Amino acid sequence: MNCDTQVLVTGAAGQIAYSLLYSIAKGDIFGNDQPLILLLLDITPMLSVLDGLLMELQDCALPLLKEVIPTDKEEVAFKDIDVAILIGSMPRREGMERKDLLKANVRIFKSQGLALDKYAKKEVKVIVVGNPVNTNCLIAMKTATSIPKENFSCMTLLDHNRAKAMIGSRLEIPTSSVKNVIIWGNHSTSQYPDVSHASVTLNGGKVMGVYDAIQNDNWLKGEFITMVQGRGAAVIKARKLSSAMSAAKAIGDHLRTIWFGTPKGEWVSMGVNSDGNTYGIAEGLIFSFPVKFQNKTWKIVNCLEINDFSREKLNLTMKELIEEKNSATELLLSDK
């Protein structure tokens, strides 16, 4: 039997965590032979909700789940953890200015970065989900100075999955038959869903590039991109709540990719630290790239051709991320 893996989920009283926790505890993410300890962190008014989650997880009678620890204390939640899933963030409220949203989240993710630095294992894998996800990840990474930068990533696999699903629907094929879409940049409406390197396996078994299979460049360069970019808002409009089930599924996909690697010849989209030497993306941004994983270590898929259309899209989302980084860094320095 393996040693216990200690998994922290922040924002644990929220909808995404509720959709995620059973999959983790059952063994769907870290393996069906991996015993787990779950640490559930949320703000003090949510402790009674965490107690209810504890009871539900106990009532599931899951053999891999050794312990559940609900808490509102970072020194308890971050102690010796192997995985940090940072879901909790300040959501944008009606009338809230972007700078106010950034300021609130800088404070949250600075605090959590310091807690990671002080209490977590140095090999901890940190996955940031709370929006604005790229910049929140950057703040946590910059604050947790003793943890390697490559241990931090933010989730753009929800957008990746959305893109796959839309291509599959358009061609009336399973999403498993769509390979190697890319989400570039920011998890925002500036993101660039790119299928110029993607392929599909059609129902007859023929493998083709997406552009050749769909034969509608205007749709792929127009409506498809805006649909992926605006899917989160469309879910909120229809459901009156933000994505939870699909976000939890994407977190699971993200974590399984880290733990078990990417299939041969495939990549996934993930926000990781830019070293300034790849695809012309500025250094020090958390930018979504196509990545491959082996031995829990990511590597950006290099040397893909970037055409003029794609370059324009990459530059737009990079510009937005630079602006967010500069604003957040200024707030970080002023928040003493």
On whether 105 is known to bind a ligand per the annotation, the reply is yes
- In this structure, the answer to whether residues 143 and 184 fall within a common structural domain is no
Q: Which pLDDT score, from 0 to 100, does residue 94 have?
A: 60
On whether 100 is known to bind a ligand per the annotation, the reply is no
On whether 98 is known to bind a ligand per the annotation, the reply is yes
- In this structure, the answer to whether residues 147 and 243 fall within a common structural domain is no
Whether residue 185 lies inside any domain: the answer is yes
**Residue 235 is part of which domain span?**
156-322
β-sheet bridge partners, residue 38 = 7, 68
Task: Give the Cβ contact number of residue 187 at 10 Å.
Answer: 28
Whether residue 150 lies inside any domain: the answer is yes
* Domain limit, last residue, from 110, 133, 154: 154
- In this structure, the answer to whether residues 133 and 161 fall within a common structural domain is no
On whether 239 is known to bind a ligand per the annotation, the reply is no
On whether 271 is known to bind a ligand per the annotation, the reply is no
CATH number at residue 301: 3.90.110.10
- In this structure, the answer to whether residues 193 and 105 fall within a common structural domain is no
Q: Which pLDDT score, from 0 to 100, does residue 98 have?
A: 65
Residue/partner pairs of 24-31 with CB below 8 Å, 24 or more apart = 24/252, 25/57, 25/60, 25/62, 25/64, 25/65, 26/60, 26/62, 26/64, 27/62, 27/64, 28/252, 29/252, 29/255, 29/256, 29/259, 30/5, 30/255, 30/259, 31/259, 31/260
Whether residue 183 lies inside any domain: the answer is yes
- In this structure, the answer to whether residues 138 and 227 fall within a common structural domain is no
Whether residue 333 lies inside any domain: the answer is no
* Eight-state DSSP code of residue 149: G
CATH number at residue 120: 3.40.50.720
Three-state SS annotation for 24-37: HHHCCCCCCCCCEE
* Domain limit, last residue, from 154, 174, 206: 154
Whether residue 309 lies inside any domain: the answer is yes
Q: pTM higher than 0.75, yes or no? A: yes
- In this structure, the answer to whether residues 143 and 237 fall within a common structural domain is no
Q: Which pLDDT score, from 0 to 100, does residue 8 have?
A: 98
Q: Rounded to whole angstroms, how far apart are CA atoms 280 and 255?
A: 27
On whether 42 is known to bind a ligand per the annotation, the reply is yes
Annotated catalytic residue 160: no
> Which entry of 160, 187, 197, 254 is annotated as an active-site residue?
187
Q: Which pLDDT score, from 0 to 100, does residue 97 have?
A: 67
- In this structure, the answer to whether residues 94 and 193 fall within a common structural domain is no
Whether residue 219 lies inside any domain: the answer is yes
- In this structure, the answer to whether residues 22 and 144 fall within a common structural domain is yes
- In this structure, the answer to whether residues 215 and 67 fall within a common structural domain is no
Whether residue 328 lies inside any domain: the answer is no
Nearest in space to 194 (alpha carbons), one of 206, 208, 211, 177: 211
- In this structure, the answer to whether residues 188 and 314 fall within a common structural domain is yes
Q: Which pLDDT score, from 0 to 100, does residue 96 have?
A: 61
Domain count, the chain: 2
- In this structure, the answer to whether residues 121 and 167 fall within a common structural domain is no
Whether residue 182 lies inside any domain: the answer is yes
* Domain limit, last residue, from 154, 171, 201: 154
Cβ-contact 13, 50 below 8 angstroms: yes
Q: Which pLDDT score, from 0 to 100, does residue 65 have?
A: 98
- In this structure, the answer to whether residues 160 and 148 fall within a common structural domain is no
Q: Tell me the pLDDT of the chain (336 aa) as tens digits.
A: 479 999 999 999 999 999 999 999 999 999 999 999 999 999 999 999 999 999 999 999 999 999 999 999 999 999 999 999 999 988 766 666 667 778 889 999 999 999 999 999 999 999 999 999 999 999 999 999 999 999 999 999 999 999 999 999 999 999 999 999 999 999 999 999 999 999 999 998 999 999 999 999 999 999 999 999 999 999 989 998 889 999 999 999 999 999 999 999 999 999 999 999 999 999 999 999 999 999 999 999 999 999 999 999 999 999 999 999 999 999 888 876
